[in-house]
Copies of this chain bind each other. A is one copy, B any other.
Amino acid sequence: MPADTRGDNVDRVLEQWRAERPALDAAPMGVVGRVQRACRLLEKGLGDYFATQGLQLWEFDILATLLRSGPPYRLTAGALGASAMVTSGAVTNRVDRLVKRGLVDRETDPDNRRSVLIGLTEEGRALVDTALSGHVANERRLLESLDPEQQDALAGLLRTLLVDLGDAPGEGGS
């Protein structure tokens, strides 16, 4: 058994910095680096499940965003882009493909013809509805190394961070 089976790859990185730059306090790297790696590994885990459902991560993301918005399951292109943190060009492209698959439809907003409302079709609603519970179960499995209290603690710390980084509802204005 190797000496240090303990720790993750970020611990290795921090050890390297300690050896190479003893004067550098690299603690912030331990946090940022782990958020990045956890994100990639979690998204890989999510993608593995969606693949079994014939879905891409981003497809489920859009469909689920529409579903949770409640009846009539319609949002503007801009709202979808903000939710997914992608540009308007990406929204156009993604919606195009979902329309081709018959999972959503486009409709110009009657009250504001600049806006486009994207709505779930019956088929899209059924598909996301089916995938939803399996998705959450999969997320629960990915997080099973943390007990419920730890998961709450993790969510709480990240909430604090996110609010500070500007990821808050009313945070768009001057």
A107 within 8 A of B: no
B contact residues around A7 at 8 Å (CB): 159, 163, 168-169
Most buried by B among A13, A24, A37, A144: A37
Stretch at the interface among A93-101, A111-119, A133-141: A133-141
Q: Scan residues 15-41 of chain A and give those whose CB is less than 8 A from a CB of chain B.
A: 16-17, 19-21, 24-32, 34-41
Using an 8 Å CB-CB cutoff, how does the interface string of A109-150 with B read, 1 for contact, 0 for none? 000000000000000000000001100100110111110101
A147 CB, nearest partner CB in chain B, Å: 10
Assess whether A39 is in contact with B28, with CB atoms less than 8 Å apart.
no
Q: How far is the CA of A159 from the CA of B8 in the complex (A)?
A: 6
A138 to chain B: closest residue by CB? B28
A168 to chain B: closest residue by CB? B8
Residue among B28, B39, B42 making CB contact with A140, cutoff 8 Å: B28
Assess whether A154 is in contact with B154, with CB atoms less than 8 Å apart.
yes
Using an 8 Å CB-CB cutoff, how does the interface string of A152-174 with B read, 1 for contact, 0 for none? 11110111111111111110000
Assess whether B155 is in contact with A154, with CB atoms less than 8 Å apart.
no
Contacts A9-B167, A157-B153: A43 and B36 contacting too (C-beta < 8 A)? yes
The 8 closest A-B pairs by CB, nearest first: A145-B164, A39-B39, A28-B139, A34-B158, A16-B68, A8-B162, A41-B165, A154-B157
